[in-house]
Amino acid sequence: MWKKGILTDAVRERAIEMIDTGFGLEVWAESGKAALKERKKTLERFREKLCPPQPFRKKIRIKPFMKLILHVGDIVAFQLQTMDKAYLANSCFDETFFRSCDGKWVVMQKAYDDVSYRSAIVPEVQDI
């Protein structure tokens, strides 16, 4: 994220906090003192890299590879299994209806393809 100029403050602060608290270093300690010392040096260099202002935002090119399983017009049927599943109270229907759907079949036809490239974590980054 830093290299692309899109590092958020929250991610930067969390990374620095993890470095400062020694998060995960116990695994490196098992490899010996030399490995632990080298890891600490690497983390310190990384911490120093995170602190200065980030470079200008760079364009992120996405090269998605998608293999379609269903094509427009394909029909799919699946059987609902709701009896032993958790019911969510904020659902659009009541629990009685939810339970009564157990064993029933739903048939759907794919109408179109839609690809979204927006990331929930960093809106500037887009993904599938």
Inform me whether the pLDDT recorded for 128 exceeds 50: no
Count of C-beta atoms within a 10 Å radius of residue 93: 10
Binned at pLDDT 50, 70 and 90, residue 104 comes out as very high
**What's the CA gap between 10 and 8, in Å, rounded?**
5
pTM, entire model: 0.46
| Boundaries of every domain in the chain | 9-50, 75-109
**What's the CA gap between 100 and 78, in Å, rounded?**
16
Of 21, 4, 12, 8, nearest to 46 by C-alpha is 12
DSSP bridge pairs for 77: 107
Residue 26, sorted as left (phi over 0), alpha (psi -120 to 50) or beta, turns out to be alpha
pLDDT digits (tens, 9 = 90+) for 39-97: 999 999 999 988 888 888 888 776 666 677 889 999 999 999 988 888 887 778 888 88
